[in-house]
Amino acid sequence: MLLAVTLLLTSLVQKNTGFNDHTFRGAVFEYAPSVLNRTKVVSRAEALKYMRGNLLKYKEIAEEASRKLVDIIVFPEDGITHYWHTRQSARSYLEFIPDPKKEKWNSCNDPHRYPNTEVQHFLSCLAKNNSLYLVANIGDVQPCNHNSTSKTCPSDGHFQYNTDVVYDGNGMLIAKYHKINLFHEHMYDPSTSKEVVHFQTPFGTFAVFTCFDVMFRNPTEILLREQGIRNVVFPTGWMDVLPFLAAIEFHSAVAAGFGVNYLAANLHIPEYRFQGSGIYSPNGALAYYYNSTVSSKGKLLIADVPILDNHPPYLPNQNRPVPNGMMDHNIRNPPSFRAVTNRDFYNYVALDKATDHVRVCHNKLCCIAYYTTTKNFTELFALAAYDGLHSSYYIQVCGIVKCKTYNRSSCGEGSKTSTTFFSHLSIQGTFTTDFVFPEILLYGNGSFQLSPPGNWSYNSKMLQAPKGFDKPLVTFSMFSRDYSRDRIRTVDILG
């Protein structure tokens, strides 16, 4: 039986809007899709039966969001189809998605224009019947001819793309985005057009990209700096990589570093480190969720988000002056040590005094930290510096981190707990780029926490918390990207 017959979507009375002159109401849903044998090749009917279970949960969440006057909702990457299929097993879960720039299609009103598009029909009706913008992630299949002169067409005669789709409140497909930067996704082809995508709403322009894309100039810098877009919808299946790339830590930092609103919806599969979603503004987290409990099925987050005016295109100044005080001879230079951090060797210096000014350098990057703890250290903390390529992309990092154990070699592994309070913190670095993202990760109630807006300040030269935090510290860092020094990618690897 066709999926459309079983949808049972009830038309709703047009709801009041959640946005006004100053804010819109955004939502993200962290979700644990039902278990699936990802390598088994199944029929289209079997694939639809599996996806229907996830879509019915989306329906429940979309209806709740509508009752709460949400204007736009974001669902996670792979939340409908599950993740890491083989190319062959993924095929039955994919649908042909037309290009909304070339034709207008409201699948809820016109479900039979294209065959085998039941998932798109469902999503279109969800958006229409709940009068909200809806962003979801599915798979797009596009035919090609591998016998022609084209050298890019796969041997099976079609492209398979990791795809974000966007529907407006009438159910119209208004945008689709093919993921450019894949991460071990052998069932998909990277975007052949490398095209960046954004869409318009009454409450702002939104960039759309997916997971690993955030690490690269295309699409992130192009959309947020060169085109000046101030809002991001971000379906993701993000695996925490400590100490600097936990989901809530890094995504909130990107929002602050680029000065944008950032709606990040993650998978919830903590046994594989998929966890952490949030709605972030340039000044900090408006709502976030981080729960390592496997039994949790995820969370709907809702927040009123400030409406930001688009800023003019911006290109960073690569000739940055050295921050004031960086070469102060009164700053201590303790003996440094190396520790493997996400497969790279970082330089560290141990923090062994309750109050200190210390410096550590790596290649051309020097980092200094000014800090005061509430009492002498009983846990090992260190100041890190790294300046170099990680795989294909160039990063510079300065950060105070809680080491996993008392062994210095563990500092690069990061820690999931902390009992150490700081009453003052500031860090600076001789970064070569303006793309610097401020990261603050705390510990409380058995889980990672973020600092509320207003407890810290940041510019591209300094991150500081003059009064410290009311929770123990895990990481206090600045993570930067120098896109101009990237290497052409030959592999997809983050950690």
Q: What are the structure tokens assigned to 43, written together?
A: 């029929």
pLDDT at 453 over 60: yes
Share of the chain above pLDDT 90, in %: 84
**Which residues are catalytically annotated?**
77, 179, 211
Reported confidence tier of residue 9, pLDDT bands at 50, 70, 90: very low
Reported confidence tier of residue 456, pLDDT bands at 50, 70, 90: very high
Query: Which tens digit of pLDDT belongs to each residue from 95-132?
Result: 999 999 999 999 999 999 999 999 999 999 999 999 99
Reported confidence tier of residue 320, pLDDT bands at 50, 70, 90: low
User: Is residue 212 domain-resident?
Assistant: yes
pLDDT at 477 over 70: yes
What is the extent of the structural domain holding 388? 337-485
User: Is residue 27 domain-resident?
Assistant: yes
Domain match, 244 and 144 both? yes
pLDDT at 490 over 50: no
Give the CATH number of the domain where residue 293 resides: 3.60.110.10
Query: Which tens digit of pLDDT belongs to each residue from 430-444?
Result: 999 989 999 999 999
Mean pLDDT of 399-424: 98
Query: Which tens digit of pLDDT belongs to each residue from 269-288?
Result: 999 999 999 999 999 999 99
Predicted confidence at residue 313, as pLDDT, reads 66
User: Is residue 325 domain-resident?
Assistant: no
Q: End of a domain among 259, 286, 306?
A: 306
Query: Which tens digit of pLDDT belongs to each residue from 206-246?
Result: 999 999 999 999 999 999 999 999 999 999 999 999 999 99
Domain match, 456 and 346 both? yes
Residue type, 219: P
Domain match, 351 and 461 both? yes
pLDDT at 414 over 70: yes
Predicted confidence at residue 424, as pLDDT, reads 97
Query: Whole-structure pTM over 0.85, yes or no?
Result: yes
Reported confidence tier of residue 460, pLDDT bands at 50, 70, 90: low
Mean pLDDT of 341-368: 97
Predicted confidence at residue 377, as pLDDT, reads 94
User: Is residue 493 domain-resident?
Assistant: no
Domain match, 302 and 372 both? no
pLDDT at 156 over 60: yes
User: Is residue 267 domain-resident?
Assistant: yes
Number of domains observed in the structure of the chain: 2
Predicted confidence at residue 381, as pLDDT, reads 98
Mean pLDDT of 326-355: 92
Predicted confidence at residue 489, as pLDDT, reads 57
